[in-house]
Amino acid sequence: MRVISGTAKGRHLKAVPGMGTRPTTDKVKEAIFSMIGPYFDGGIVLDLFAGTGGLGIEALSRGMDRAVFVDMDKKSIDVVRENLAACRLEQEAEVYRNEAERALKVLAKKESENRFALVFLDPPYRMKTADKLMGEMHSLGLLAPEAVVLVEHASDFRYPEAFGPFVCRKLALYGETAVAIYDYQHEDLPQGMES
């Protein structure tokens, strides 16, 4: 695993020891960023089931200003910190060991500084709660207008195409992995901006 593009291009990322995580392959990562980027003009990214931190680090490398990494596994948190250090991106990152839903509540209390333009949800495939987590982010006011939420899940499972303020822009299948990209359609756009 490596950083594919941007300021940290080519840097190798350490994997989490054991079988508990399933890192996004370079091929899938490349496809993901060609769909949502490939580069960014700032903003904050949330990598909620961070694992190795590969997706959030790639987003930082490609121009996001800041990243928040959350995972409940101590080994993952250690690896995220090591990978950030290897890419010299520690200053742009916050790393928390916490369970996903609890982490969202904590982040919401940190006032409006945490409004995410990009969110990666790559939970263990047995968890099928990404839509619930997205609804929670919406109700907690954690998403920037027009945020993009990317959900990685098992290819034999489908989330709704649209629910609440979220609309699936694209669903791509890569073997056992599916990637769903949701656009957050925030209601209170400024006057004259309605689409």
Categorize the per-residue pLDDT at 112 as very low, low, confident or very high, splitting at 50, 70 and 90.
low
For residues 23 and 48, the model is more confident at 48
DSSP, residue by residue, 113-168: G--EEEEEE---TT---HHHHHHHHHHTT-EEEEEEEEEEEETT----SEETTEEE
Give pLDDT tens digits for 148-194.
999 999 999 999 999 999 999 999 999 999 999 999 997 654 444 34
Flag whether the pTM goes above 0.75: yes
Sheet of strand 143-154, all strands in order from the earlier edge strand to the far edge = 93-97, 66-71, 44-47, 116-121, 143-154, 177-184, 166-174, 162-163
Categorize the per-residue pLDDT at 12 as very low, low, confident or very high, splitting at 50, 70 and 90.
very high
CB 78 within 8 A of CB 53: no
Residue in the structure block whose two tokens are 């959350």:
70
Cβ contacts of 68 within 8 Å, gap of 6 or more = 44, 45, 46, 47, 56, 93, 94, 95, 96, 107, 114, 116
Residue in the structure block whose two tokens are 């742009």:
92
> Furthest-apart CA pair in the chain: how many Å?
52
Helix (H, G, I), strand (E, B) or coil at 89: coil
CATH match for 26-184 among 3.40.50.300, 1.10.15.40, 3.40.50.150, 3.40.50.1460: 3.40.50.150
